[in-house]
Amino acid sequence: MNRKLFTVGPVNVEPETLEAMTRPIITHRSKEYKLLHGSIVEKIRKALNTDMDVFMVSGSATAMIEGAIRNGISRKSLGISGGSFGDRSAEIAELNGKTVEKVNVPFGKAILPEHIEGKVTEDIEAVHWVSNESSTGVFADSTAIADEVRNQNPDSLVIIDAVTSAFAMDLDLKNLEPDALIFGTQKALALPPGLGLMVCSERLLKKAETVENRGFYTDLIKIKKQSDVNYALTTPPVSLMYALDYQLDKILKEGMPACYRRHNEMADLVRNWAEKKLNGIFPDEGVRSNTIGVLNRGDLDFDAFHAALKDKGYEISNGYGGVKEKTFRIGHMGDLTPDRVKELLGAMDEILEVME
């Protein structure tokens, strides 16, 4: 059955977007490829309002998170985590032989600059955290955290997992000045999975020159050399890139302020519904994500509720990680609209009535 996805990613992909993938394959050492690659980079820069480097690898966002860590840290980092994906970045660093000092923030609470007070010591080469923690639905003020990092240690890099916020919530890159900002295709870009992307600073590239064992696949120095002439380091998924180029045109046509507003509107609809009809939203007020509603289950039989919702042709997402059993999640990002969210909420109302 073809269900309407209100999941947290992969998300719903429109037929026209899939259609854009069916153009003839080109080789990645052709003039046509260079045009496609360059066009994507320029459009991402425009959408995110940055002139920084934009790198792509075939894979998922995690490939680029691992890449940022392997290129930006020789020995030691500080990992801030308020959930599963924050933990994962720390795990990636440790599995790559780095030492990670950890700051754990309670699930559902804001990540604040004071959480890292006195912790970005001289030996901390990078601080990593998640912009929008997909397990708890908490959106962090990354600019405030990055400022605090650089106040304490101007040499420390900031590596930000923006997998579920980029292109949906304004990250204000001109002020944030990330060293690595990472995302993928299967979230707010509303594409199939398959590309890991990174906005990368000169500082990170400079640091990479001093770091050993950067590997090959995500060696940012090798990637930069190719990217400067609009080539990929290894074989890129050109079909997905056609669709990415198409989606970027669509997003730019909507305009970023309108796109961010639409995500805010969808989030408000879900939040209000959760307060009125169920047990509210899990994360604290003021730090709630505009892309993922994490709803308290209370005594709702989620499996029965979700089975009934699937029968009606909709799919949402289970809870995740440490709050799996007490929450469930609704993804409202990408090409979805407030009208489509209202349609989902209407279907959920009908199910609640029957379940009562």
Ligand X SMILES: Cc1ncc(COP(=O)(O)O)c(C=O)c1O
* Rounded Cα distance, 81 and 103, in Å: 6
Task: Choose between 85 and 282: whose C-beta lies nearer to ligand X.
Answer: 85
Q: From residue 97 to residue 136, what is the string marking binding to ligand X with x (rule CB under 6 A)?
A: ---------------------------------x---x--
Cβ-contact 331, 292 below 8 angstroms? yes
The reply on whether position 85 binds ligand X by CB under 6 A is yes
Minimum Å gap between C-beta 130 and ligand X is: 5
346 Cβ contact list (under 8 Å, min separation 6)? none
Shortest Cβ distance from residue 116 to ligand X (Å)?
19
Phi, psi of 96 (to 5 degrees): -95, 15
Distance CA 25, CA 21 (A): 9
> Does 60 engage in binding with ligand X (CB under 6 A)?
yes
The region of 36-44, 70-78, 158-166, 259-267 touching ligand X under the rule CB under 6 A is 158-166
SS3 103: strand
Please say which residue, 64 or 347, places its beta carbon nearer to ligand X.
Answer: 64
Tell me how many residues contact ligand X (CB under 6 A): 11
- For residues 180 and 201, the answer to whether their CB atoms sit within 8 Å is yes
φ/ψ of 169, rounded to 5, equals: -130, 140
Question: How many whole angstroms separate alpha carbon 107 and alpha carbon 138?
Answer: 8
Kindly report the backbone phi and psi dihedral angles of residue 4, in degrees, each rounded to the nearest multiple of 5, phi listed first.
-80, 120
Q: Which is nearer to ligand X, 110 or 352 (CB)?
A: 110
Out of 53, 87, 148, 161, name the contact with ligand X by CB under 6 A.
161
Q: Applying CB under 6 A, does 273 fall inside the site for ligand X?
A: no
If one asks whether residue 164 binds ligand X (CB under 6 A), the answer comes out as yes
Q: Does 44 bind ligand X (CB under 6 A)?
A: no
Part in contact with ligand X (CB under 6 A); list of ranges 12-20, 156-164, 269-277, 328-336:
156-164
**Considering only residues 67, 79, 82, 184, which one is a binding residue for ligand X as defined by CB under 6 A?**
184
Interface with ligand X by CB under 6 A: which range of 25-33, 34-42, 54-62, 200-208? Answer: 54-62
In this complex, which beta carbon is closest to ligand X, that of residue 217 or of residue 279? 217
164, 289 Cβ separation under 8 angstroms? yes
Q: Is 298 left (phi over 0), alpha (psi -120 to 50) or beta?
A: left
Looking at the Cβ atoms of 138 and 308, the one nearer to ligand X is 138
Q: Any idea which residue has 């998640």 for tokens?
A: 130
Our CB check for ligand X shows the closer of 37 and 128 to be 128
Going by their DSSP bridges, the two strands 138-139 and 157-161 should be labelled as unpaired
Binding part of the chain for ligand X, among 60-68, 200-208, 213-221, 327-335 by CB under 6 A, reads 60-68
Per the CB < 8 A criterion, the answer to whether 325 and 300 are in contact is no
**Of the listed pieces 58-66, 237-245, 261-269, 324-332, which binds ligand X according to CB under 6 A?**
58-66
**How many other CB atoms sit within 10 Å of the CB of residue 321?**
17
Please state, in angstroms and rounded to a whole number, the distance separating the CA atoms of residues 250 and 270: 25
Contacting residues toward ligand X, per CB under 6 A:
9, 60-62, 85, 130, 134, 161, 163-164, 184
